[in-house]
């Protein structure tokens, strides 16, 4: 579903003039269309949503373009919910796709293991025209944009700043309520320090409106930073808490994609999902005897919190 900016403070904010925020459900990242101004060749699209929503993304972009050509598709990071529409957009519009440099070689070789897509179902191959790295600048929508590093959630992720208008495209580094899973920490690498450094970097930027990877654009940057930092502090104090949250997110995310699944099948999926196995080995083995048992406990917690429903042995996304 596409909704224009709905946050009351951000909706209609003058900084968002010339931009169309396609706010999506949580399975797909938001898409931002930066409309061409003056003699610019065409619009830029930032992030392309989930593969399961690719036809919808193409239709939404087509409508939002209002006849302008699509000049470029720019991706903040290569998680499946941010780049799943790439192949469909490429086929429909022929627009060159540009990504952060960190995983360009993996995309060129289409190495799904290195891309981390084995776990998450991005299977439509796309090609890239080039990369945009941290510190690079370009002009789009009549504004100067700069790519900034945003490690933490994903070591290769970038965020994009239009400093003159105070617009930050934060991807999954900062949401109105928190930030994306800290994936390096889930596989035994450091990541919490990077999250803190990225939040500090955001605080120093001239930001009036944040367009996050998920959820409505928001203007209360200080409040969002405070909420993110308190969540981070809780994870740093208790990393297994982050791991349990991660498993719940992975299960919920899988359910968003399949909508409904018999519990036995869902547990079978969890049992063989590589990241679930690594998570259990790193954080869950003291609490439960297997990835399957740990997943079952987390599904029960998701059910208790209302995020999923369990009916007659079938789990339903709620
Ligand atoms: Zn992400």
Of 194, 218, 236, which one is at a domain's C-terminal end?
Answer: 236
Pairing between β-strand 209-212 and β-strand 167-171 as defined by DSSP bridges: parallel
Expressed in angstroms and rounded, the spacing between residue 149 Cα and the centre of ligand 1 is: 14
Same domain, 18 and 111: yes
Predicted confidence band of residue 26 (pLDDT cuts 50, 70, 90): confident
For residues 212-231, give the mean pLDDT: 97
- In angstroms, the CA 47 to CA 34 distance is 11
Residue 171 has pLDDT above 80, yes or no: yes
Cβ–Cβ contacts within 10 Å for residue 152, how many?
A: 28
Same domain, 285 and 313: yes
pLDDT tens for 110-148 read 988 888 755 555 678 999 999 999 999 999 999 999 999
Cβ–Cβ contacts within 10 Å for residue 262, how many?
A: 12
For position 306, which CATH number holds? 1.10.10
- In angstroms, the CA 51 to CA 38 distance is 33
Report yes or no on 195 lying in a domain.
yes
Of 218, 236, 254, which one is at a domain's C-terminal end?
Answer: 236
Expressed in angstroms and rounded, the spacing between residue 38 Cα and the centre of ligand 1 is: 33
Both tokens of 296, joined, read 């079952």
CA distances from 247 to 174, 182, 232, 285 (A): 20, 12, 17, 13
For residues 162-182, give the mean pLDDT: 97
Expressed in angstroms and rounded, the spacing between residue 21 Cα and the centre of ligand 1 is: 18
For residues 184-206, give the mean pLDDT: 97
Report yes or no on 2 lying in a domain.
no
Same domain, 225 and 307: no
Predicted confidence band of residue 75 (pLDDT cuts 50, 70, 90): very high
Expressed in angstroms and rounded, the spacing between residue 214 Cα and the centre of ligand 1 is: 10
Both tokens of 72, joined, read 């470029």
Same domain, 225 and 280: no
Domain range for 302 is: 239-317
The kind and range of the H/E element at 138 are: strand 137-140
Nearest alpha carbon to residue 21 among 36, 32, 13, 11: 32
Report yes or no on 292 lying in a domain.
yes
Pairing between β-strand 31-34 and β-strand 209-212 as defined by DSSP bridges: unpaired
- In angstroms, the CA 142 to CA 109 distance is 35
Expressed in angstroms and rounded, the spacing between residue 39 Cα and the centre of ligand 1 is: 34
Q: What global pTM score does this model have?
A: 0.93
Expressed in angstroms and rounded, the spacing between residue 153 Cα and the centre of ligand 1 is: 7
Report yes or no on 4 lying in a domain.
no
For residues 192-197, give the mean pLDDT: 98
Same domain, 253 and 311: yes
Same domain, 61 and 76: yes
Same domain, 229 and 310: no
Nearest alpha carbon to residue 179 among 244, 226, 145, 219: 226
Report yes or no on 8 lying in a domain.
no
Q: Are 246 and 234 in contact (CB under 8 A)?
A: no
**Number of domains making up the chain:** 2
At 178, give phi and psi (nearest 5°).
110, -145
Residues 212-222 as b/e (b if ≥16 CB within 10 A, e otherwise) read: bbbbbbbbebe
Q: Are 57 and 88 in contact (CB under 8 A)?
A: yes
Cβ–Cβ contacts within 10 Å for residue 41, how many?
A: 10
Q: Are 49 and 31 in contact (CB under 8 A)?
A: yes
Same domain, 313 and 165: no
pLDDT given at position 10? 84
Same domain, 66 and 215: yes
Strand, coil or helix: 193: helix
Residue indicated by tokens 């919920």:
252
Expressed in angstroms and rounded, the spacing between residue 75 Cα and the centre of ligand 1 is: 11
Q: Are 173 and 159 in contact (CB under 8 A)?
A: yes
Same domain, 250 and 192: no
Expressed in angstroms and rounded, the spacing between residue 135 Cα and the centre of ligand 1 is: 21
Helices 192-203 and 221-237, packing angle to 10 deg: 160
Expressed in angstroms and rounded, the spacing between residue 81 Cα and the centre of ligand 1 is: 7
Of 194, 215, 236, which one is at a domain's C-terminal end?
Answer: 236
Torsional class of 188: left (φ above 0), alpha (ψ -120 to 50), beta (otherwise): left
Report yes or no on 143 lying in a domain.
yes
For residues 70-98, give the mean pLDDT: 96
Burial class of residue 142 (count of CB atoms within 10 Å of its CB; 0-12, 13-18, 19+) = middle
Expressed in angstroms and rounded, the spacing between residue 180 Cα and the centre of ligand 1 is: 6
DSSP 141-169: TTEEEEEEE-TTTSTT-EEEEETTTTEEE
Report yes or no on 133 lying in a domain.
yes
Report yes or no on 21 lying in a domain.
yes
Expressed in angstroms and rounded, the spacing between residue 267 Cα and the centre of ligand 1 is: 24
Expressed in angstroms and rounded, the spacing between residue 296 Cα and the centre of ligand 1 is: 25
Helices 239-258 and 291-304, packing angle to 10 deg: 80
Same domain, 280 and 170: no
For position 188, which CATH number holds? 3.60.15.10
DSSP 50-100: -GGGHHHHHHHHHHHHTT--EEEEE-S---HHHHTTHHHHHHHH---EEE-
For residues 47-71, give the mean pLDDT: 96
Expressed in angstroms and rounded, the spacing between residue 230 Cα and the centre of ligand 1 is: 20
Expressed in angstroms and rounded, the spacing between residue 82 Cα and the centre of ligand 1 is: 7
Same domain, 116 and 224: yes
């Amino acid at each position: 579903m596409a909704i224009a900016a709905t946050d009351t403070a951000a909706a209609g904010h003058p900084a968002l003039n010339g931009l169309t925020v396609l706010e999506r459900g949580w399975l797909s990242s938001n898409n931002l269309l930066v409309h061409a101004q003056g003699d610019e060749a065409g619009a830029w699209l930032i992030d392309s949503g989930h593969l399961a929503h690719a036809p919808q993304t193409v239709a939404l972009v087509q409508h939002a373009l209002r006849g302008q050509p699509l000049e470029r598709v720019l991706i903040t990071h290569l998680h499946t919910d941010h780049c799943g529409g790439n192949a469909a957009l490429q086929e429909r519009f022929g627009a060159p796709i540009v990504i952060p440099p960190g995983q360009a070689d993996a995309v060129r070789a289409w190495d799904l293991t290195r891309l981390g897509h084995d776990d998450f179902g991005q299977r439509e191959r796309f090609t890239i025209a080039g990369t945009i790295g941290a510190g690079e600048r370009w002009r789009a929508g009549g504004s100067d944009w700069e790519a900034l590093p945003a490690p933490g959630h994903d070591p290769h992720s970038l965020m994009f700043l239009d400093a003159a208008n105070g617009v930050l495209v934060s991807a999954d580094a900062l949401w109105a309520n928190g930030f994306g899973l800290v994936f390096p920490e889930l596989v035994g690498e450091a990541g919490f320090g990077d999250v803190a450094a990225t939040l500090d970097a955001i605080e120093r930027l001239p930001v009036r409106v944040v367009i996050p990877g998920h959820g409505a654009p928001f203007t209360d940057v200080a409040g969002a930073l405070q909420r993110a930092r308190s969540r981070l502090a809780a994870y740093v104090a208790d990393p297994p808490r982050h791991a349990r949250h991660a498993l719940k997110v992975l299960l919920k995310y899988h359910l968003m994609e399949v909508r409904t699944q018999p519990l036995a099948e869902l547990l079978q999926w969890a049992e063989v999902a590589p990241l679930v196995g690594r998570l259990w080995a790193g954080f869950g083995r003291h609490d439960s005897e297997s990835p399957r048992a740990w997943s079952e406990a987390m599904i029960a917690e998701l059910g208790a919190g209302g995020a999923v429903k369990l009916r007659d042995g079938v789990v339903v996304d709620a």
